[in-house]
Structures are given as structure tokens and as C-alpha cells.
A and B are shown apart, each in its own frame.
Chain A
Amino acid sequence: MIPAAFDYARPATLEEAASLLSQEGGAALLAGGQSLITELKQRRASPRAVIDLNAITELSAIEHGPDGVRIGAMVRQAELLRDATVQKRLPLLCETGAAAGDPMIRRLGTLAGALCEAEPGGDWVAAALALDAEVEIYGKDGTRRMSAADFVTGVKPAGGLKGEIVTAVHLPYQKEDSRSTYRKVKHNAVGWSIASAAISLEPGEGGACRKVRIAVSGAPSHPQRLPSLESALTGGPYEAGRIQTAIEEALQGLTFRGDHYASAGYRRTRLGILLSRTLQELLAA
């Protein structure tokens, strides 16, 4: 698999990268390359130039604040999962990461790259959505922040980026008492998700949940939160029939995708079962 010819640049600063990016004819940014290189090799993408972000050191920092973390765009997924504070304060992200790709992919892949790629079966995207992540974007008019939900809408490029560069992903820490999990049904051929859910529950008074965040991936056309299910589950009571109805209602509004291994109909069924089993488990805990 040989890509079409392209120019290659390896800028050392963000400004330089942005100015290269603004030049004529499409250019692609290269982070970990775990998605982009395949695109190039299969000639699904033939950009005029590839701008490599790997030399921009300012993108490689993990900065912990009082309420959350700022993850530089070039922080590797594996590095992120090794960070002690991330392990402690963002268990959902770590659980998700362990199910995303394999060690070789995580060794090079980045969280920001995964969000930009916004694969329909992406695990990282589901976690970022459920964790209320924000994406930090650098452009000629300065820096702006966008919620992950606005960034990943199923339309490419993610965030409608135009000559802009994602510089970081911001994640608020999970509440100490929150219960969360990531559950994934793998596509046997490729290891991506055919149905998965990132769920975080914050317990409130008398066993009822104060806050519920649920993001699904793999089955629907693109990873997304399920607001109707979230609100149905905010405040009890949690009897099985009610949960089931709420799941059904939430799935009704979605468009599903399928392939020869698992059809859209099966993915829908499987996602329903996944949600119902996981919620029962978490609510019982």
C-alpha cells in the first residue's frame, strides 16, 4: 500500500503549523498517524501536504488543575493511561482506553486525534462525550473551546475545523462518588465497537441519581449522548420496566449502521441489551 505523493513538513511551533496549514490546497495534520496513515496508504485521502505535529513540544503536556486536566493534543494514549492522577480521577477514561485498539496503537495514537477522526465505532469519543470533554482549538483568530458534543456531530471534519489545530482536550475530573463504566461489544474483524456505552452516574438523595451521563458508540451513525435516557434516569425509581421503556425511547430516535458481520438491526438490539444490563448493574451497586 503506497500513498500518493505529498509534501511533508515538520514544524516546531504551532504558529508555523498554522501558517503551513493555511496555504493553498488541502493539507492534513499528522498526530499519531493511526488513522491518517491508513487513509493515505489506501488512497482514501490524498492531501497535497502532510504537516507533522510531532515536533511541536508544547502540545505534549498533561496539566492537572483543581477540577480537571488539560491534555495536550500530542499526548499519547498510552501516556495518558499511565498518568497516576488520570488513573485516580478519570477511571472511566482509563477503562475506555484499555478497550480501545491495542498497545501498539495506543503507544502512538492520541486522544485529540481520535476525537478529530471521530470514528463511528470510536471508544475514546464515547468516553470524551460522557465525561463532558471540551476541545481547545487554535486558529488565526486565537483559541476557542468547544464541547465534545458540538465537536463530534457525525459531520466531517469534526468541529468544522478550517485551517485550525486542536491543541488540547479538557476533561473535568469525575466526582469521587460517581459510578462509571465503559462496556464494549467488539467487532470481531476489526476490534472496533459494534455497540458500546460509556456511563457515569452521580448518586444523589435516597439512591436516586443526581446526574446521569450516557454516551453510546458503534451502533449509531456516530458516537453521541442519549439525553432522553439520561433525564429519565435522573431521579428514581429504577424499576426494570421503566428503564427498559426509557432505553427503547432513546434508541428510537437514532439511526443505526451495519455491515456484513453485524447488521444495523442487530446492533440496535445489542446496544439495547448492553444498556439495560449495564444500567441494572450500576444502579444495583
Chain B
Amino acid sequence: MNAPNLNTQQHAETGKHTGKAMRRMEDTRFLTGRGRYVGDITLPRQLYAHFVRSPHAHARILKVSTEAALAVSGVKGVYCANDLQGTRDVPPNWVLPGSQVKGRPALAREIVRHVGECVAVVLAESPEAAADAGVLVDVAYDPLPTVFSASDALQDGAHKVHGDLPDNLATTFKTGNGGYDEALEKADREIAFNLRNQRLVPFPIEGRAVNADFDPATERLTFYTAHQIPHMLRRMLAGALGFPEHKLRVISPDVGGGFGPKMHFYPEELTLARLSCLLKRPVKWTERRSENVAATTHGRDHEMEVRVAVQKDGKVLGLKLDSKANVGAYLSSMGTGVPTINVALFALGVYAIPHSDVTITCAYTNTTPVDAYRGAGRPEAAYMIERVMDRVALELGLDPAETRKRNFVQPDQMPYAQPTGTTLDTGEYAMTLDLALKNAGYEGLRKEQEEARKKGRYLGIGFSNYTETCGMGNGFILQFVGFDRGGYESAVVRVHPDGRATVLSGSHSHGQGHVTTFAQIAADELGIAPEQIEVLQGDTDMIPFGIGTFNSRSVPVGGSAVKVAAGRVAAKMRRIAAHLLQCEPDNVLIEEGIFKAADGNGTVTIERVAHAAWTGHDIPYELGIGLEETEFFHPQSMSSPYGAHIALVEVDPETGEVELKRYIAVDDCGVIINPLLARGQVHGGLAQGIGQALYEDAGFDAQGRPALEPSIPRFDMLPRFETDHTVTPTPTNPLGAKGLGEAGAIGAPPAIVNAAIDALWGLGVRTLDMPLTPERVLTSIRNAANKETEA
């Protein structure tokens, strides 16, 4: 596929290296088996952990018998909650004001509340001994009544997940400017339906992994963990442990995928850190897949009722959303924030809808805690509003693209404050949609659909014009919504005496390729090749306090920090070079490590400049020593990437099977740093979005146990993606970049479900729930047929 076409008035300002489809410099290492993950790190005197977990969704612990386990040779001990006295529960870090907070206990006390909850941990001299002993720990349980869905949990008389919370309610959040009833009075019609955003298991290839190493000599704790946000984890871990933060070092080496769940703080982490401090030995644990599906956080899980008041011409006058969100048995790190703020604020998508009433109710249930997963709330919002748009079009007999255009926020309205609370910074939605229509050959597709229908084949076309906000920033706003984090990112740029550079970044790649993109950004500023630059992340002793990688924020915020810091180093190099060249700094050009005076008089190499900087030779005293700058880039506000996606499906009405035939994605993430990696992000996101639409759910059985093998799509289950970009740079950061990591996962589900409904609308199917398993689709077709015969 072609490089992105930059078909916008405001052309992206890209440099010599940024904007180029450079291959990832880290791939040689990864592809030749030289990645270094937490599981690869084994320390002297290493102990190994095996967690004993609850097979029950809700039960009282009667007795934990450890004799048989302790008899296994090599076992150091078996530990339960009362061995961890003084350890706090793992607290959530994003708590919407007014929430009822139940953190995750390090090890369960008396009661277990979801399958997979940690009850005890075995430590042994070998992983084999730990595993052998683990199965011998005998826990007697008295099962208690369970509740699994948010709507059940919120019913009167529902079983209580926490004894002291009579209504299972975690929080309720309301937003919008109100007035839905007035809108309804003016409207020609009301359209109402229910939606389910099913629970998903995030499933990174590398599970979680920890090696906690307390050194009694230095009284320092070095904590290796597969994580997305090492500094934040240090803060949270220090707090829960009561450990001095300056003596706690978190190292996150290579991380094999995260998708959100590796940005949380977990009971296992707290337990192992505590035990390492107690035993003064390193303790290692690598998660098994069965643990990953049951104890690592899940995503989504909303049950929604939506109503819209519409005019005949498709204009939406008001929207009312009532969603019940399942937070699981305890609040994980982003607790009540993701299901409320991250959903409700985006409920109106890219549309100017005059009136809105949004209510989200979060309930505790006997399930694995739910937290951020690629998209984190925005997929739920986009799914709802984009399903609404196609539904409105189908009900009114309008074209769904045209219906959207009648509702879009217009470019001259930017920045546009949605009454739900988010601000859309930039966006030319019609332009982006038009490009998608063109790439799809939309008119031809509609004809093809009509022809196929005559032959008894059911093609469907679905749309999605998602938006989101990325580049989480501004501490003030985060404080306002109860998110106890900063919104900045750190970078250090250091040019060494030999003219090569190191970039330290508080972002943390878990597969995104920062080693390459951040080097491209720094290279353009410093006037050297990306290969001359090493990007280092993931060690809190080495890197200034950072916020980490999530919310598609690494390029817009972390990348901007690199750009600003590198820019300052470059300015200083120019001043030194100007001195050496005896000209004005403004007159100095840098290219490939050579400084030139603009008028062509002489050159000086970067080595010479760097040598002068680090020795103080040859330069005026006032210029100071060194070529190193630190930037904490703190954006004023966030950016709003968006896109127009079109899916073409064919449904077999006899089997219910949905074939995704084409997927056309046009994304606008502002300026693109590396088109190749951008495409990779789009592809990965789409795969997960398509997984949600067609295949995946947590697959709980009647006992509340998630399926061991979730249906994640493999590449032979995906079509060739037709991707493209428009570029409307954001003014919220110096790169003009908006973030792209979650786009595909946000955009794909509604496009695909809309397409399937479009295919079956003529058969009387009005709605379908994800995942579109053949069985579910077939049942809907049959139910629609039965209704027709009854009518």
C-alpha cells in the first residue's frame, strides 16, 4: 500500500527523518531472539513464586492447609494474607469523585470475589518446586451467591459483592447539557435500542512478569516488571508498600505487548515486593495464560440503552444514554475513570447534537476487575454513537454517509466544546469521510450490493466516523476528574563528546517502536542520523519522572518532550558552532553532523562542537558546560484524532457467518512521524477491533470462569486492510501529532456491526450484538423471520 497521501490544505511539516517510513531499528534484535524480557532475568539466590488462586467467583475461605505444600523439597514457604500485615490493598489511581472504593487485596482475606483472585503464594528454590507445591495447597471454601453482570448487580435484592455496599454501586456519573425531552418534542421521531459492549480479554503475547529484588546491603528494592508506566508504578508501589520512593527502582525491560493491562498496579506485584523485602531475596513470577485470562484486567463491559430524537432529514436533535458498566469485583488502577469519563465525554462523537443526557452507572460484580484496554472507554462511546448514525439512516431510508454529513461538527466550529465535556481540537470530518468513500468506491459498492441481493447474496456496508482524545495531558484537568497522575512526559537529550546522542524518555514502548520514532524526532532537531541516537526507556533510576505509555500519548506528549529537549540542545550547539565559525547562531545550519555558516564560510563538525561543550575549551564561559537538556513537556490540552472507516461484509443467511470482505480506513492523527509504524498501529488496532466485532468475548461459564482460549483473530482471519490518512495537524503540541495507537480498535467494531445490520436489514434484522458469532447472527435472522410470519 502507498505511503499516506497528505491531502490537506495544512500540509504536515515533516523533516529529513520524520515523515519517512523508516524501518524499526529494534527489529534486528527482536527478530533474532535477542529481546530481553523480565522472564529472561534470573538473579543470584532467586526464589520463584506460584500463586494459589480461587476457583470460585465468590466464596468464604474456611481454611488454607499448607502442610503438604511445605513438605515439597525446595519450598521456602507458603504465604497468606496474614503474612503480609501492614500491606495496604492495591488502591485505584483514578477515582471519580464520590466513588465507593474497593481496592484489590494483595492476598484475599476471608472472602474471594472473583475467579483467579490470589489466596496464597508459594515461594520455592525452583519454578518446578513452586508449581508442584502450588497444587498441594489445599484451600477449603464455602461458596457464596454470585452476581456477574452490571444490570443484575444493580437490581434490588442482588447478592452483595462487598458486604458493606448494599447496592453494589461503585459510582454514577452524569453529563451532557440536558434537554432531551425538549429535543424529543421538536423531533419527528425517536429511535431507541440497546447495545452491549462485551467484555474482552486483552491477551498480550507476553503475560505479566515480575522479579522483585530487595538488597539488604543498600536497602534498595529493584523491581523488574513487564509494564507500560514504570514511574507511576514506582509511586503506586512505594505508597502501598510504605517503601521510600527514592530507594525503589523500577526496571521494565522489553515488554511484549500491553494494550492497557500492563499499566495497572496488581496484587501480585505488591505481594512479591513485600515478600522480597521480608525474605531479603529476589522473587520471580511469570504469569501463566490461565492466570492472564482470569487475573489480569479485562476491558469494556457496558450495557447501554440509547435513545435519539431525530428529524426526518436525519439530523439528530438529542441523545440520551444510560449505560451500566461492570467494574468487576474491585477497582483496578483506572477504576471508575475509564468507564465514566472516557465513555461519557465522547458520547456525541464528531456530531453537533444540541441536547444530551448521559448517565453511566458502575457496578461491582463477581468478575475479574475491568480496566483500560486499547481504546479504554472511547470504543464504547464510538460504538454507541456510530451504531446510532447507521440506525438513524436505515430507519429513515437515508444514506448513512449523508446522514453523518448532516450532523458533523464543521471545521469552522473548531475548537468545539462538546456539551459532554470534551473539546474537539481540529477535524475536517467531511473531507476525511469523502476520502474513505472514494477509496472504497462507494457508489460502485452500493450497486454491487443491489446486484448481489438479486442473486440472494447479502452484502452490507457499514460506517464509523470515530473520534477520541489522545495525549493525556494537563494535570489540572486530570485532578478535576480524580485521576491522580500528571499529564506531562519527560525527555533528556544528551549529545556525547563523539557527536552521538542518547535520548532518555519517560514513555515506555511495549511494541510501538519508540526506539525508532523518537530517534527520528531527535535526529531532525540535532542534524544527525537516527542511527546515531540511542533511545532508552524503562528504568526509573536512569530516566526522569515520566508518566508512561497509554492513551496513544507517547508521540504527542513523549515525542514532543524529545523534540523540545533536542531543540534546546541543537540551539546550544548552534551557539557553540557560531562561536567556532565566527558567525551569528541564526546563520548556522546543521546537516548530517556538519555545521555550516549560511553564507558558506567554513564548516565545523558536531564532534568538534560536542568536544568544546564537554571540555569548556575554545568557548566563552557563559555558554556553560555540556550538551544535555531535560524537558517535562506538559500539554495545555489534548488532541482529538478521528477517522472514517468503511467495512464491507457478506453474511450467509443460512449459516449466519459474516465474512469481512474489505476494510477501508482513513485515519487522521495529525502529523505522522513514521508512516510505516503508523500503518502498523492501524493494523494492530483494526485486528483487535475486528476481534471484538466478530470473534471475542471473555466467555465466562456459569461459574464465572473466563474461557482459557479467547477467540483472538489470527492473520488468516483478517482481510487486507486498505489504509490511508488525512492530516489535520493539532495545535496542542509542537509536533502537530495526535496519537494513533488505539484508533483501529475504536473505529472497527461499529463499522463492521453496521455493515452486518445493513446486509440483513431487508430480512428484518434491526440490531446485532457483538461478537457476531455465526450462531448469534443466525438466531437474529430466524427471530426476524418468525416476527415477520407472526405479523
A residues sitting closer than 8 Å to B (CB atoms) are: 1-2, 4-5, 42-43, 188-191, 260-263, 266, 269-270, 273
Contacts and interface: CB of A to CB of B under 8 A. Distances in A.
Interface in B686-718: 694-695, 697, 699-701, 707, 709-714, 717
Nearest to B695: A188
A222 to B, nearest CB: 20
18 contacts: A1-B288, A2-B127, A2-B128, A2-B131, A4-B132, A4-B135, A5-B132, A43-B135, A188-B694, A188-B717, A189-B710, A260-B697, A260-B700, A261-B699, A261-B775, A262-B775, A266-B774, A273-B654
Given A2-B128, A4-B132, A261-B699, A190 B775 contact: no
Nearest to A260: B699
A190 B132 contact: no
B778 interface: yes
B775 A266 contact: yes
Most chain B CB within a 10 A radius of its CB, from A261, A263, A266, A269: A261
B783 interface: no
B770 to A, nearest CB: 13
B65 interface: no
The 7 A-B residue pairs with the shortest CB-CB distance in the complex, in nearest-first order: A189-B711, A2-B131, A266-B775, A188-B711, A189-B709, A260-B699, A188-B695
A187 to B, nearest CB: 8
A189 B774 contact: no
Contacts of B127: 2
Given A2-B131, A273-B654, A190 B774 contact: no
Contact of A270 (B655, B697, B711): B655
Contacts of B701: 260
Nearest to B701: A260
B137 to A, nearest CB: 14
Interface of B: 127-128, 131-132, 135, 288-290, 654-655, 694-695, 697, 699-701, 707, 709-714, 717, 773-775, 778
Contacts of A266: 774-775, 778
Nearest to A269: B778
B773 to A, nearest CB: 6
B655 A261 contact: no
B51 to A, nearest CB: 13
B290 to A, nearest CB: 8
A114 B717 CA distance: 25
Contacts of A189: 695, 707, 709-712
B773 A261 contact: yes
Given A5-B128, A188-B717, A273-B654, A262 B774 contact: yes
Contacts of A190: 709
A189 B709 CA distance: 6
B333 to A, nearest CB: 27
Contacts of A269: 655, 778
Contacts of B711: 188-189, 261
A261 B695 CA distance: 9
Contacts of B655: 269-270, 273
Most chain B CB within a 10 A radius of its CB, from A1, A188, A190, A266: A188
A203 B131 CA distance: 58
A201 B655 CA distance: 25
Contacts of B700: 260
A262 B289 CA distance: 22
A188 to B, nearest CB: 4
A270 B778 CA distance: 10
A192 B131 CA distance: 29
Nearest to B694: A188
A261 B711 CA distance: 9
B605 to A, nearest CB: 51
Contacts of B710: 189
A273 B657 CA distance: 12
A43 B699 CA distance: 22
A204 B288 CA distance: 56
Nearest to A4: B132
B709 A270 contact: no
Contacts of A273: 654-655
Nearest to A195: B655
Given A1-B288, A190-B709, A263 B775 contact: yes
Contacts of B699: 260-261
A260 B707 contact: yes
Nearest to A194: B774
A59 B125 CA distance: 40
Contacts of A263: 775
Contacts of B713: 188
A131 to B, nearest CB: 27
A43 B774 CA distance: 33
A63 B711 CA distance: 40
A248 to B, nearest CB: 15
Contacts of A4: 132, 135
B295 to A, nearest CB: 15
A98 to B, nearest CB: 12
A219 to B, nearest CB: 13
A139 B354 CA distance: 81
Contacts of A188: 694-695, 711, 713, 717
B288 A270 contact: no
A84 B288 CA distance: 42
Contacts of B697: 260
A233 B462 CA distance: 43
Nearest to B135: A43
Contacts of B288: 1
A42 B707 CA distance: 15
Nearest to B779: A266
Contacts of B290: 42
A266 B656 CA distance: 10
B695 to A, nearest CB: 5
Contacts of B654: 273
Most chain B CB within a 10 A radius of its CB, from A190, A191, A266: A266
A5 B712 CA distance: 32
A197 B505 CA distance: 56
A42 B131 CA distance: 11
A123 to B, nearest CB: 16
Nearest to B127: A2
A1 B655 CA distance: 37
A190 B695 CA distance: 12
A63 B687 CA distance: 45
Most chain B CB within a 10 A radius of its CB, from A191, A260, A273: A260
